[in-house]
Every structure is written in structure tokens, then in C-alpha cells.
Amino acid sequence: MSRFPFFLGAILALISFQSCQQELPQRPNILFAIADDWGWPHAGIYGDPVVQTPAFDRVAREGILFNHAYVSSPSCTPSRNAILTGQYHWRLGPGANLWSTLDPATPVYPLLLEDAGYKIGRFRKSWGPGDISNWERHPAGHDYTNTGFAEFMAEKPKDQPFCFWLGSSDPHRPYDRGTGLSSGMNLEKIKLFKCFPDHEIIRSDVADYYCEVQRFDTLVASAIQLLEEYGELENTIIVVTGDNGMPFPRCKSNNYDSGTRMPLAIRWGKGIQHPGRVLDDFISTTDLAPTFLEMAGVEIPEVMTGLSFINLLTSDKEGFLDTRNRSFVLHGKERHVPGQEEDMGGYPGRAIRTHDYLYIRNFKEERWPSGTPNYLEAAISYCWLGDCDNGPTKTYMVDHREQDEQHRKLYDLAFGKRPAEELYDLSRDPEQLLNLAEDPAYAEIRDKLSEQLMGQLVATGDPRATGGGDEFDEVPYLGQGPRHPSYTGD
Ligand SMILES: [Ca+2]
């Protein structure tokens, strides 16, 4: 059965899980903790041998750990827009792009909760980046960046439920070089993604990223401690996740697991009566908004394409539960940074991920997936492989691309052009490095997934699936892109 129409799926899911119904906490508080550029599986409980994430691990142990959570888009603004609106980013016009805007008429869950009596607030990075000065109320709530979650809790009337967005700017670049190593991390123990050359510079860069992941985890720990002090822990749903993958080549801003697959753990006191479970169901972070609204007893707007997963939280089983609705997930990319050679375009693509395969459709295969590799003195001179944040790993991979065949191969995988279709067989290639789209043995699977993907995109109103979408390339870009390290202008 297809994931969409979602209302039909929701009814069937309700029937499937009726036997597990229980009395749920009324109007629970919501603490949404989101890291910036933190990818799966970089948490202790996922088996990472180096990074230490005791707060995330605790949330998972006392709640549920999700193995297959995905963002709508591996880029800050569209990913966050999708979370707030409960809609795929391709339904949000300019909001599909990085450094953009969002139509103030779009329903967002924090404001719907405020209208229903919740106190709402946000800390540090929430919506964006971009410009939402035309919103009367900030879509993520009132700003407590200066005073913190503690002040929010101190202000809150005792009996008023709350919804708080605990944002962090970690582990976004830049990093203090060598902090991972100097903190005692064993670089040799790091499990490097296979899309990176194995070099000490890269291991050290990953360790620096881990340091900031750990700083985010400390923020989560302090928020949990505060909930305990106020006696609110058991009636609060705590969600810990990220907005896109690690800021390294072929990760963030890419439609591979390294860009779109997120750590996700959820704790909900008595709402989860069988804690410590691990789930393999596919979750889109667009599913969070309808889940929060349903928990609060607030009507879910019809425009939301996300699907509440309360049925998973209240189940007593683990593994892959909702086979009707959660056998795949969709994600995609519009413009991250305008890093192409001749226009403001991005690198549009969409993907469908199942337990067995990843299929990607690149709509403009003539463009550069990570932006042009050239350093030009033209109007776009500020972009150098613009879709990849600058850092030691990027510089190493560019500088050593001709060193040998392996370095060249990994450079091309990260920065080279890609065909219109990509297909990865996850049973033999979990890191998605070997494209089988042209292999005759996989033609039938490729065509089936292509048809399924396009059908879902049409059903969810994606302009790229109906012959349009070029308007995404015309949206003003309100930020800057990575410059070549040699750039000395302004
Ligand atoms: Ca981000």
C-alpha cells in the first residue's frame, strides 16, 4: 500500500494497532532537541565506538530508538521547514531552498499548539536560515536564546503545557582544529564512511565533528535535568534528532544516507509503556508535526503530508511494525547553494529509500551535484564546490584527487557529475557507492522504484514530477556560499 493518501493509512494503522491502545497522557509537553548537521549513526547507542552521547542514549533506552529516520531534504532551511510544517519541502515554494523564506499562511505545529493553549519557545537555531520578517509570530515560538530553557521553565505557569524547540548550532562547521584529538579521542577507532580516503587529516576532522556532537548532547542532558527538577519529565515527549547529515563531502546536501538519515530517539514517560525498543519503520521528520498535534488533541491540517506515528510509540513490539505505511521514505533536494556555472540553479533530485534499495532521480544531470569545482572570477566567484562546506576533509580530497586511482574515485563520487538515475543495492552496498542503475540485472527494480517515486511525488504535489520546478531555481538566495580558500575578496 502506498504511503499516500495519508488519512487512509492513518485509519488502517489505527485498526492495526487498536489492540495496543492505552490511556495516553493528556496534552503532553514537547521538548524538541535538534542538532545542526548531525548524521546517523554517530551516537553511542548506534554502536559508534568513539563519540559519547549519554543523553541521547538515555532517551533511547528509556524510550525508543529509530533506525530509519530521514529528513525531507539534507539542507538546513528546507529540512526545518518540513519539520515545522509537516510537509515535504517541495510543497513549500521558496521554502524548498536554503537561505530562503516561508509563506506565512503555512500552518506550523508550534503556532497551532500555542493557539490551543501551549506555551511555546525556542532556543538558538530553529527556523532557517533565511528571512521570515513577514511572519507576525515566529514559527518556532518566542526567543529564549539569551536566557535559555531554564528561564522558559521558570516563566511557565505550572499547569500550562509547553512546546520548546531546543536548537543547537552544533556540530555545524567551522570546528577548532584538533579538538577531538586533544580531548583524548582515539582516531584509529573512528569508523570512517567509505566515501572518504583513510587519512589522519580526515580522521581528525571527524573527531572535531564528534566534539561538537558531544557538546549538543550536553545541552540535551541539561534540559532533561531541568525537566526532572520541575517534575515534568514523565509528561514530556522528548525528541532528539538532527536536520541533515555531517558537513563533509558526499554527506550534507546529498540524497544518500550520509546526508539524509538521522539519529532519532524519543522518550515519552508513560506514553511509551514498553521502553527500550528499537524500530526499523521508516520515519520522515515531516511525521513529527502531525504526531505532536495528535498528542495534544489538535486537529491535523489537511495540507500536512506527514503521518502521525503515535501507533508506533504505544505499541509493545519492536522491529518493523507498520508494514502498510512505513516501508519506504521519500527525500529530495532543491537548491542548497547557487553554485552552478551559469545560473542560480541548484541540483534538484528526489529519492525513495526502502530497506533494500536507494533509488535517486537527478533532474538536471548536466549540473554539478556539489557545485562547480572551478574558481571563477565571475558573479558566482564566491562559490567553490558550493554545496559542500569548507573544511579539512574537503580540502584534502580536492588537493589529493590525482594522487592515485582510489583518491580520484572518491573525489568523483563526492564532486563529479552524476547520471539521471542512481540505484544502490543496500544488501551488498550499504554505503551507496556502486550505482547499479544501468545494470540490466537491476532494470526491473529500477523501473519499479522510479514509478513508485514519481507516483508519490505527483500525489504530494511536487512540481518536478509534473514537468515544472524550474521556479525553485529563480528564488533569491539570501546567504553566501563557501569561497575558495585562496579567495581574498571582501
Ligand atoms: Ca544543518
Radius of gyration over every alpha carbon of the chain, rounded to an integer in angstroms = 21
Spell out the SS3 assignment of the chain.
CCCCCHHHHHHHHHHHCHHHCCCCCCCCEEEEEEECCCCCCCCHHHCCCCCCCHHHHHHHHCCEEEEEEECCCCCHHHHHHHHHHCCCHHHCHHHHCCCECCCCCCCCHHHHHHHCCCEEEEECCCCCCECCCCCCCCCCCEECCCCHHHHHHHHCCCCCCEEEEEECCCCCCCCCCCHHHHCCCCHHHCCCCCCCCCCHHHHHHHHHHHHHHHHHHHHHHHHHHHHHHCCCHHHEEEEEEECCCCCCCCCCCCCCHHHHEEEEEEECHHHCCCCCEEECCCEEHHHHHHHHHHHHCCCCCCCCCCCCCHHHHCCCCCECCCCCCCCEEEEEECCCCCCCCCCCCCCCEEEEEECCEEEEEECCCCCCCCCCCCCCCCCCCCCCCCCCCCCHHHHHHHHCCCCCHHHHHHHHHHHCCCCCEEEEECCCCCCCCCCCCCCHHHHHHHHHHHHHHHHHHHHCCCHHHHCCCHHHHHCCCCCCCCCCCCCCCC
pLDDT of the chain, 490 residues: tens digit per residue: 345 444 444 454 444 444 444 566 789 999 999 999 999 999 999 999 999 999 999 999 999 999 999 999 999 999 999 999 999 999 999 999 999 999 999 999 999 999 999 999 999 999 999 999 999 999 999 999 999 999 999 999 999 999 999 999 999 999 999 999 999 999 999 999 999 999 999 999 999 999 999 999 999 999 999 999 999 999 999 999 999 999 999 999 999 999 999 999 999 998 998 999 999 999 999 999 999 999 999 999 999 999 999 999 999 999 999 999 999 999 999 999 988 877 789 999 999 999 999 999 999 999 999 998 875 554 445 678 999 999 999 999 999 999 999 999 999 999 999 999 999 999 999 999 999 999 999 999 999 999 999 999 999 999 999 999 999 999 999 987 777 776 665 5
pLDDT for 17: 47
Instruction: Decide: 88 and 305 in contact? Cβ < 8 Å.
Output: yes
Specify the pLDDT at position 127. 97
Ligand 1 centroid, distance to 339 Cα (angstroms): 18
Rounded to 5 degrees, φ, ψ at 55 are -70, -45
| Nearest CA among 408, 293, 410 for reference residue 30 | 293
pLDDT of residue 375: 54
237 within 8 A of 29, measured Cβ to Cβ: yes
Maximum separation of any 2 CA atoms in the chain, in Å: 65
Block residue for cell numbers 542532558: 221
Which residues have CB under 8 Å from 417's CB, separation 6+?
365, 366, 367, 368, 369
Q: How far is the CA of 249 from the centre of ligand 1 (A)?
A: 14
CA of 75 to the centre of ligand 1 (A): 6
β-pairing verdict for 64-70 and 261-267: antiparallel
- Alpha-carbon distances of 206 from 173, 179, 406, rounded to whole Å: 11, 10, 20
- Give residue 27 CA to ligand 1 midpoint distance, Å: 30
pLDDT in tens, 128-173: 999 999 999 999 999 999 999 999 999 999 999 999 999 999 999 9
Cα of 86 vs centre of ligand 1, distance in Å, is 18
Dihedral of CA atoms 60, 36, 169, 372 in degrees, nearest 10, equals 160
In the chain, residues under CATH classification 3.40.720.10 are 6-18+26-329
Give the pLDDT confidence score for residue 487 in this predicted structure. Answer: 66
pTM metric for this prediction: 0.94
pLDDT in tens, 205-233: 999 999 999 999 999 999 999 999 999 99
Q: Could you tell me the distance, in angstroms and rounded to a whole number, from the CA of residue 171 to the centre of ligand 1?
A: 9
- The CATH classification of domain 6-18+26-329, taken from the options 3.40.720.10, 3.40.50.300, 3.30.300.30, 3.30.365.10: 3.40.720.10
Please tell me the distance between residue 129's alpha carbon and the centre of ligand 1 in angstroms. Answer: 9
Distance from the alpha carbon of residue 350 to the mean position of ligand 1, in angstroms: 19
pLDDT at position 13 is: 47
Give span(s): CATH 3.30.1120.10, the chain: 330-474
Res 488: pLDDT = 62
Output the CATH code of domain 330-474.
Answer: 3.30.1120.10
Q: What is the pLDDT of residue 270?
A: 87
Q: Between the CA of residue 348 and those of 84, 91, 248, 298, what are the distances in Å?
A: 22, 14, 19, 34
Cell of 132: 521570515
Measured in angstroms, how far is the CA atom of residue 172 from the centroid of ligand 1? Answer: 7
